């Protein structure tokens, strides 16, 4: 477990003008994709609200992203339920 700390890569991000060095098991490209997504969502919040404080922008973006995640999880659960129902239906029809 101790060695695992050294296996993580360190990636320096810039979010709202702030530098942030993070350790991640993900490759740098994946971390950069998250950084880009967050930057896009923060910019959307900036355009659509009167908030100017960086903390407010970050929190509003985080709330929006959390809302998306909850909706996506609900949709996934519905798809999994429907898939299981269809699988059961198919199994009942098979000889």
pLDDT at 17: 92
Q: Is the pLDDT of residue 2 over 50?
A: no
Long-range contacts from 59-67, C-beta under 8 angstroms, 24+ separation: 65/38, 65/41
Comparing 61-65, 69-73, 91-95, the range with the smallest average pLDDT is 91-95
Write out the two tokens for 53.
């404080």
Distance, CA of 35 to CA of 65 (rounded, Å): 13
pLDDT tens track for 4-60: 455 578 999 999 999 999 999 899 999 999 999 999 999 999 999 887 899 999 999
User: Using 50, 70 and 90 to split pLDDT, how confident is the model at 65?
Assistant: very high
Q: Is the pLDDT of residue 3 over 70?
A: no
pLDDT at 1: 41
**What is the pTM assigned to this prediction?**
0.76
């Amino acid at each position: 477990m101790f060695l695992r700390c050294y296996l993580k890569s360190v990636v320096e991000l810039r979010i709202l003008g702030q530098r942030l060095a993070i350790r991640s098991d993900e490759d740098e490209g994946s971390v950069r994709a998250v950084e880009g997504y967050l930057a896009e969502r923060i910019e959307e919040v900036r355009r659509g609200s009167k908030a100017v404080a960086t903390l407010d922008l970050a929190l509003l973006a985080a709330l929006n992203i959390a809302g998306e995640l909850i909706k996506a999880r609900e949709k996934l659960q519905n798809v999994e339920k429907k898939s299981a129902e269809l699988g059961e239906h198919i199994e009942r029809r098979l000889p």
